[in-house]
Structure 1
Amino acid sequence: MVGEIAALTVALCWAIAARMFKVLGASFSPLSLNFWKGLVAIALLLVVTQLFLPPVDLPVSAYGWLLLSGVVGIGIGDTCFFQALNKIGDTQSVLITETLAPIFTALLAMVWIAEWLTWQQWLGIALVLVSVDMVVKVRRKTQLHLFAPSGYIYAAIAAVCQAVGAVISRDILTTYTFLDAFNASLVRLTGGLLIIVLLMAVMKKRWLPESDDPARMWRMFALATLLGTAAALYLQMVAFANAKAGVVQTLIATSAVMSLAVAWVVGEKAGKATVFWSFGALAGVAVLVAAGQLAGH
């Protein structure tokens, strides 16, 4: 159950951080925000791994796979998701990416690492994904629907990249059981940052943010990065080390539902349909956790 709890905590961290990152988007370009949060998270992880943890001796190939996981899952995947946001809006982007990523992850895990899900786990995945999709649709039904074929392609590519990054991480963490989540997160995030720096240099994007209140902006940025990048990535590695990749990716997709709780805390109200489908997602989570316990994973 450790893996499932870690995945759900990742979803909560992302739900909280997403609100702050949305505000920060007025000061940062998407790539520069990705760059700075990655850089700060790497600095935090370096402090932990160098001062508080014993050194890890991995084969060069293992480091290479983890770096590739970060390049594909964080660097390319996030960039494609940002492109989808710009072309088809957040509703369609979230629907496509968060629906396809768990399915692609489960299928790829079968092929890559022979990790098979039980029919009960597939049922839980279906319940979660349908409920999450309905929650997003209900909450965004008043928004203008945008149609740009390339946006849907970007969203699908983002889902594939998430799946590849997830399965590679799961493979390395289960192969080298002595590898801790902090060091795994550090290597993976470094790979993601390398591709982001390359993209920013090639596309000549602005590196520094612009704000009328820099002190407030950087405080919010620090909190959002701590929750949404450093803590979330560490917990994601814990999840992949202790639960099947498809299950983890599905539970992380509940961040859309977790955001409802965050909205309620800040005084926003949810309609009956949203509440109903939120309970549907919780039922799916319960099925996934129970099925994982029955399967011994």
Structure 2
Amino acid sequence: MQYLGELISLGVAFSWTITAILSEYASKRLGSITLNMLRMVFALAFSVVMFLVVFGRPLPAEGSTEAYCWMALSGFVGFVMCDYCLMKCYTIIGSRFGQLFMTLAPLSAAITAWILLGQKLQIMSILAMFVTLAGISISILGRGDNHLLSLKLPLNGVFYAAVAAVCQGIGLVISKVGLDSYQASMPHDVAISTPWMLPFCANFFRCLAGLGGFTVLMIFNKSFGKFRNSFRDGKIMVAVIATTIFGPFVGVAFSLMAVQYTAAGIASTLMALTPIIILLPSRYMFHQHITWKEIMGACISVVGVAMFFLG
């Protein structure tokens, strides 16, 4: 089907918009650790059901120990570190600013690929980094005392958002390494008959690592009581299940699938439209005032991402 990869990429952008808005709502009610723990539990449950339907067994296709280790590391960085910080920043600065900062992820991914894989940083990529940073700066900086620029967001929220973006970029590179290793080591008949299952199988191991990481955090945070009580709130459960489907289950798997059907640059650029798509829902759902300056900043940031991949 022509433009299948592009359509999947756009779907991912809308999927991440939905999960960002629902995650902001749920994280303010449950907290970052509890919400992420629930997301991992439901993502693994959905995966098991899918494997039963497709493979006739509750586990994904076998792979090498090396592939498992790479995917587990990717899950720790991408889910535990990234999603913890992302949900935390949602409770402080909101999902639309959180998603704006996520446009820094390609910068983090490029630097990580340069360090781990020896990939060169092109001049256009460096320029794209500055454009993306300029777009974010336009959105989050305002005029303070004595006509000097000042940060109009809480500093701790900016910190969590920046760490989330960095971790997402690092996790993306590690995921790529793990995905290639997993694809090379999985049974040949599975790779041929159901190639579309590869992202879902790989994501299963990432979610396992995420579950383990958030279990440790819950032990230290002593939040198992809040975790148990959350199942009694039907409204919250609907939000958690929806954010799981659109986030770590379908959203992440489809983002890996998109690059199988179109160029990675095109897919990444289309998926990076979330900071623009999220503006209108944030305005009506959370009654947030959005300025033209913030809209311009979000658009410039996405242009920076486009330059990064398409330059």
Q: Normalising to structure 2: TM-score of the pair?
A: 0.72
The worse-fitting range, judged by mean Cα deviation, of 191-200 and 177-186 is 177-186
Query: For residues 4 and 128 of structure 2, what CA distance do their matches in structure 1 show?
Result: 17
CA shift digits 1:54-89 (9 cap, x unpaired): 962311111111011101221123234455667x74
Query: For residues 52 and 64 of structure 2, what CA distance do their matches in structure 1 show?
Result: 19
Q: Which residue in 1 is equivalent to 2:19? A: 17
Matches within 5 A, 1:97-112: 98=102, 100-112=104-116
Q: Which residue in 2 is equivalent to 1:77? A: 82
Structure 1: gaps of 5 or more residues: 292-297
CA shift digits 1:152-184 (9 cap, x unpaired): 665554444323311110112234364711101
CA shift digits 1:167-225 (9 cap, x unpaired): 110112234364711101111111111110111022211313459x9333322332222
The question of 1:165 aligning with 2:187 is answered no
**CA RMSD between the two structures:** 4.1
Opposite residue 228 of structure 1, the aligned amino acid is: G
Q: Which residue in 1 is equivalent to 2:72? A: 67
Q: Cα–Cα, structure 1 residues 95 and 242, in superposed 2: closer, same or farther, change >3 Å?
A: same
The question of 1:257 aligning with 2:288 is answered no
Paired residue for 1:146, among 141, 147, 154?
A: 154
Secondary structure at 1:27's aligned position in 2?
Answer: helix
**Fraction of identical pairs, as percent:** 24
The question of 1:34 aligning with 2:36 is answered yes
Q: Which residue in 1 is equivalent to 2:293? A: 273
Query: For residues 135 and 302 of structure 2, what CA distance do their matches in structure 1 show?
Result: 9
Q: Which residue in 2 is equivalent to 1:189? A: 207
The question of 1:94 aligning with 2:98 is answered yes
Q: Which residue in 2 is equivalent to 1:294? A: none
CA shift digits 1:79-135 (9 cap, x unpaired): 34455667x745998389536533221011122123345444554554445335534
Q: Cα–Cα, structure 1 residues 243 and 164, in superposed 2: closer, same or farther, change >3 Å?
A: farther
Opposite residue 235 of structure 2, the aligned amino acid is: R
Paired residue total: 285
Q: Normalising to structure 1: TM-score of the pair?
A: 0.74
Do the aligned residues in 2 keep the contact of 1:102 with 1:246 (CA within 8 Å)?
no
Do the aligned residues in 2 keep the contact of 1:247 with 1:288 (CA within 8 Å)?
no
Query: For residues 254 and 38 of structure 2, what CA distance do their matches in structure 1 show?
Result: 20
Q: Which residue in 2 is equivalent to 1:295? A: none
Query: Per chain length, whose mean CA-contact separation is higher, i.e. which structure has more relative contact order (CA < 8 Å, sep 6+)?
Result: 1
Matches within 5 A, 1:96-245: 98=102, 100-116=104-120, 118-124=122-128, 126-135=130-139, 145-147=153-155, 156-175=162-181, 176=183, 178=191, 180-205=198-223, 206-210=226-230, 214-239=233-258
